[in-house]
């Protein structure tokens, strides 16, 4: 089974990733902020540096994340997911985050600047709901 492993920068908060202007022609539209664009670029750069083959995985996917925060502040793990998954899709590691049928996230130890460790694999056609693809 092919597993892609990546180490990515820790994402900005979900509130910093998107903005919704309240004035002007874009008022009321939610869009990626400058910080969100910078994060997407950083993920794309890491995908290139780590020599990940783009569009390699097809079909149903399993994705496991270890979030190693940059400090001990309280964080909701689920708030990290949207920015990371969108950045992986934008970097063409995955075709569509809607293809992820098995999604796991764990909190790791605090590391300087923080990081996200990502493991992605295709779910075999015969896999069942009880299949443990990443358990060791």
What is the per-residue pLDDT for 125? 79
State pLDDT tens for residues 59-80: 999 999 999 999 999 999 998 9
Task: Name the CATH superfamily for 3-122.
Answer: Holliday junction resolvase RusA (3.30.1330.70)
Domain boundaries, the chain: 3-122
Taking the C-alpha atoms of residue 111 and residue 107, their distance in angstroms, rounded to an integer, is 11
Alpha-carbon torsion angle 49, 54, 58, 63, nearest 10: 30
Quick one: DSSP state of residue 112? Answer: T
Residue closest to 46 by CA, chosen among 117, 99, 95:
117
For residue 58, what are its two tokens? 């097809």
This prediction has a pTM of: 0.85
């Amino acid at each position: 089974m092919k597993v892609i492993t990546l180490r990515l920068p820790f994402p900005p908060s979900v509130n910093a990733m998107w903005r919704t202007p309240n004035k002007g022609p874009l008022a009321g539209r939610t869009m990626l902020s400058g910080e969100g664009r910078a994060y997407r670029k950083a993920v794309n750069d890491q995908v290139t540096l780590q020599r990940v083959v783009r569009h390699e995985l097809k079909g149903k996917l399993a994705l496991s994340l270890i979030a190693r925060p940059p400090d001990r502040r309280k964080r909701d793990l689920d708030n990290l997911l949207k920015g990371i998954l969108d950045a992986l899709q934008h970097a063409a590691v995955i075709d569509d985050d809607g293809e992820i049928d098995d999604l796991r996230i764990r909190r790791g130890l605090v590391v300087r600047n923080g990081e996200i460790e990502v493991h992605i694999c295709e779910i075999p056609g015969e896999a069942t709901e009880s299949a443990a693809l990443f358990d060791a």
